[in-house]
Amino acid sequence: MIAVLKNEICSYFTNMAAYVISAFLLFFAGIYTMVYNLNYAVANYEVVLSGMSFIFLVIVPILTMRVIAEERHQKTDQLLYSLPLSMGKIILGKYLAMLCIFLIPIAVICIYPIILSAFGNVSFPVAYTAILGFFLLGASLIAIGTFVSSVTESQAVAAGLCFVVMLLNYFLSSLSSFVSSSAISSVAALTICILLFSIVFYLLTKNSWVSAGIGAILEVITWIVYVADSSKLEGLFGTIMEELSLFEQFQVFVDGILDLTGVVYFLSVIVFFLFLSIQSMEKRRWSE
C-alpha cells in the first residue's frame, strides 16, 4: 500500500495536478479572507470556510477524475490486478495519496486564524472546528469522486459525473424544499429515490432479481408506514435530504459545534464509497 501511495503522490506532482489544486484552493481562501475578514473587519474565520465550500465542486472532479478512470483507459489496471496486494489496499493507497494532496492547502489554511488573531479576537476552537469540518467534507467528497472514477474509463466523463454529483449534493437541501411536506408527496419522492437506488445497485451487481427485490421491499415498507400512520411521512423527505447533504452537515461545524454524529456520518460516507470503489474494481477484475 505504501508503494501505491508514494507512486500516486509522485504522479500528482509530476502532472501539475497537486499544484493546480493547492493554488486554486488557496487563491479563493485568500480572496474570501480579504473580503470577509479584512474588508469587513470580522474575526470569524469559519465564515470564510462556509462561503468557499462551493470550491469542492471544482477541485474534487479535477483531483479524482484520473485516479482509476485513467488506469482503465490505458489498460494499466491489469498491472494493479497483478500486484501482490488486495484491491482494498490499492484503493486505500490511492485515496490516501489524494488526501495528502488535499492536506497541503489545508495546512496553510490552518495558519490563517493565527494571522487574523493579530487584528482581532479570533475564537480558535470555533475556527479550527470549522477547518476540521472542511477537511472531513473534502475527504468525503474525494471518496465519492473515487467511486465515480472507478465506473468509467474516461477522465472527462469521470469529471463530469463527479461535478453533477457534487452539484446535486450542494443543492440537495434546497431542492428538497420544492417537494411538498404532505405525506403522499414524501411517498412519491421516496419512490423515485428507491427506483434510482435499485438502478445503481443493478449497475454495480448486474443482479436484476436482487436489485428488484431490494427496491420492492423498500417500497412496501414505505407504503405500510403510509397506510399505518401517514403523519409520520409528513415532511420526512425534506428531513432526510437535509440529513444526507454533506454540505448541511458541514454547517454544524461552521457553528463551532464538534458534532460527533457529523464526524461519524462523514467517516461512514468515506468507508461506504471506498467499499463501492473496491467492489467496482473487483467486479471488473473477475469479468475479464
67 near 149, Cβ under 8 Å?
A: yes
Q: What is the mean pLDDT of each run of 10 residues along the chain (288 residues)?
A: 75 78 87 78 79 87 80 63 72 88 90 83 86 92 88 80 84 70 76 78 68 83 80 71 81 84 90 86 65
**C-alpha to C-alpha distance for 276 and 288, rounded to whole angstroms:** 19
For residue 164, what pLDDT is reported?
85
The rounded distance, in Å, linking the Cα atoms of 172 and 190 is 14
User: Which residue has cell 423498500?
Assistant: 218
Residue 155: its H or E element? helix 155-170
Question: Considering only CA atoms, which of 16, 106, 29 is closest in space to residue 63?
Answer: 16
The Cα 61–Cα 67 span in angstroms is 10
- pLDDT of res. 138: 92
**Angle CA 280–243–269, to nearest 5:** 25
Q: Closest by alpha carbon to 284, among 72, 1, 67?
A: 72
Cα–Cα distance for residue pair 65/42, rounded to 1 Å: 37
Which grid cell sits at 264?
461519524
pLDDT computed for residue 77 by the predictor: 59
* Structure confidence at residue 140 (pLDDT): 93
What pTM, to 2 d.p., does this model score?
Answer: 0.85
